[in-house]
Chain A
């Protein structure tokens, strides 16, 4: 079950993640508000951060197995985040050794060092400038990380070479859009 969940997420099935979000969100908020003296809004943000971090860690291959129930895992990570939130508020030093057993890599590394960048970025919707086909192709290659052969089949291309060519074209278009925006941003 636990491995199934990780495999589903890895293969790009977001529905499983949304199910988890639905199943645990409100209980988590109640628990956080009651036990950690945070506001409902703070608890909501923390829960969303946890689910996103969970997703990123799975898709990046950092999290390959869970050594406890998913709910326990989320609450342990939540506890860590909530304590950090309080720590930031109170400017106090906290030790987190008791959470380190939760994941093989430790909770302290569960949240990316670029986490803030991930969470607070302001992103123009570059992908929306691409055609539907390109968006799907990029999703299949770079989000779901499917092999060329499978992508070619899904997209109805004659062979893998066509898929490779299309991948290049779409990616290039996106790079150009992004670089152009970046330059405009620097000029501004």
Chain B
């Protein structure tokens, strides 16, 4: 009996591992149909083999479980670290954006800034000047309160516009960073006015500030003439914006 079992077992193994020739395999397939004992032995073999395979998967799962303990720890620590990393990343992005805006702003501002000098304003001698409001405006201007200075100058200009008022409204707009408004006022200063050169120079700088390079070039080209008190600066600026 055992001999027979053993013989079946060896044959089944050869069949299972593909060690039989095509002819022998065909023969074995036929015997599986007609030989009930062999068929039963084969079924028994298949069942046991399945158990072996399942046991192997079971062992594999145990190995995974051992790894899971370590991997779960890593996973959780990464999860905890994630918000901190996100927080740092967000802060860096904000800082980077601010610095880029600042850098960009400076890039636009700096060239014109380097050539700008603050107008000293008109002398304020209380009692000697009939226009007290203009004195007040100049006082505010000298105290760097350009908004108040501009308001007073605008009120005065609405009553009776003069080149002096127009020029200083432009200057205050420039100081406030309102370059487009400044351009409108500097442009209005009459050619005959004593403020004309100053206004033109600041007009050029205002154009530069808003990146209107053609207009900037035009204004400084006019100021290049030796008769202008800004000819040297105009030359330098023209070279710079080439």
Contacts and interface: CB of A to CB of B under 8 A. Distances in A.
* A associates with B: yes
B9 A14 contact: no
A18 B68 CA distance: 11
B64 A51 contact: yes
Given A21-B67, A48-B61, A174 B56 contact: no
A17 B17 contact: no
Interface residues of A, number: 37
Contacts of B56: 139, 143
B42 to A, nearest CB: 12
B94 interface: no
A25 interface: yes
Interface stretch (A71-79, A93-101, A102-110, A164-172): A164-172
The list of the 7 closest CB pairs from A to B, nearest first, reads A175-B48, A26-B75, A142-B52, A168-B9, A127-B55, A143-B56, A168-B6
Interface of B: 5-6, 9-10, 13, 17, 44-45, 47-49, 51-58, 60-61, 63-64, 67-68, 71, 74-75, 78
A40 B56 CA distance: 26
A148 B138 CA distance: 108
A125 interface: yes
A179 to B, nearest CB: 7
Contact of A126 (B51, B53, B74): B51
A44 interface: yes
A52 B61 contact: yes
Contacts of B48: 171, 174-175, 178
Given A126-B55, A142-B52, A168-B9, A55 B68 contact: no
A56 B53 CA distance: 9
